[in-house]
Structure 1
Amino acid sequence: MTVTTDGGRLDLLRGGPAQEFTVTLRNGNTRSYEHLLPVFQLEILVDDVLASERPPQDGFVLERWDHAARTWRVEPLRIANDVLDHSAYRGGRALARDAVRVERYRLRALGSGPAGSTPLMMSLVDTDAPAGASLQRVRPAYVSLPHTTRRN
């Protein structure tokens, strides 16, 4: 799994435009997958915004381009400083041996919410992995993208 964006990082402005990035999945010739799920997470930004004043999702919106419908669709984005057990995830799409899939995403920082820097973490989770499987089997790929959100 690779991720690319203009400038190699996400640089967002609260209330400003979304920034696009591309995730490319390249499967090898060893096995196919029936259910691979891209999972996205940002750690909580620590700044002067009180917890009671934080908007849902800390004011971030992640979207994926739905090529068939020709529209952007909201995707789950976890805001947390811990790791969610991979067994909690369901769904995903197939990826055949030797297949390549390219997905377009964009991240937006709404007008209210915290500012600061933390990487956007992306895991590719095999939701069919058996209980007790190795981390490499459950999460065949992981990447992060540097990210900063500023205020005007």
Structure 2
Amino acid sequence: MSATAPGSRLTLRPGGPAREFSVTLRNGNTRSYRHVLLAFQMESTPGGSAHPGYILERWDQATGTWRPATLRIANDTLPYAFHEGGTPLAKNEVTTHRYRLRAATGAPSGPNPILISLIDTDTDARVFYASLPQSTLE
């Protein structure tokens, strides 16, 4: 799994435009997965408080529209057993998913990477993880 953004990082401005990034899954494993799910999290923002001022969306290729995606803001990891759903990932399959992130007006400034986990919801286990550098400017 890899996450990429133009310039290798996301730089946001509160109230500014969304910035796109992609997550590519490469299953070179010895088996297929029945249900995998991408889970996104940011730590509580600088200053120590959680701020709901970030909007994550995923590109739905079937409808040609951006759809809301879940972005958890917390300092702890949600137990993998709490994740449900997911889609199949066949052996040797490669898929790329497009996302965009926006900082709402009032979002605090500072660095706060996006932590991305690939969860196998059938076994309640994290298959892989990555992070993408992100900074919100004043």
TM-score range, shorter chain: over 0.9
Q: CA deviation at 1:47?
A: 3.2
* Aligned pairs (5 A) from 1:1-150: 1-47=1-47, 57=52, 59-129=53-123, 138-150=125-137
Aligned residues: 138
Give ranges in structure 2 of 5+ residues lacking alignment: none
Over the matched positions of the two proteins, sequence identity in percent amounts to: 51
Contact map agreement 1:47 1:116 (CA 8 A) in 2: no
Larger Rg: 1
Greater percentage in helix: 1
For 1:101 and 1:90, locate their aligned partners in 2 and report how far apart those are by CA, in whole Å: 20
Equivalent position SS for 1:7: helix
Give ranges in structure 1 of 5+ residues lacking alignment: 131-137
Greater percentage in strand: 2
Following TM superposition, the consecutive aligned residue runs of length 4 or more in structure 1 with deviations greater than 2 angstroms are none
Normalised by the size of structure 2, how large is the TM-score?
A: 0.95
Equivalent residue, structure 2, for 1:134:
none
RMSD: 1.5
For 2:80 and 2:113, locate their aligned partners in 1 and report how far apart those are by CA, in whole Å: 20
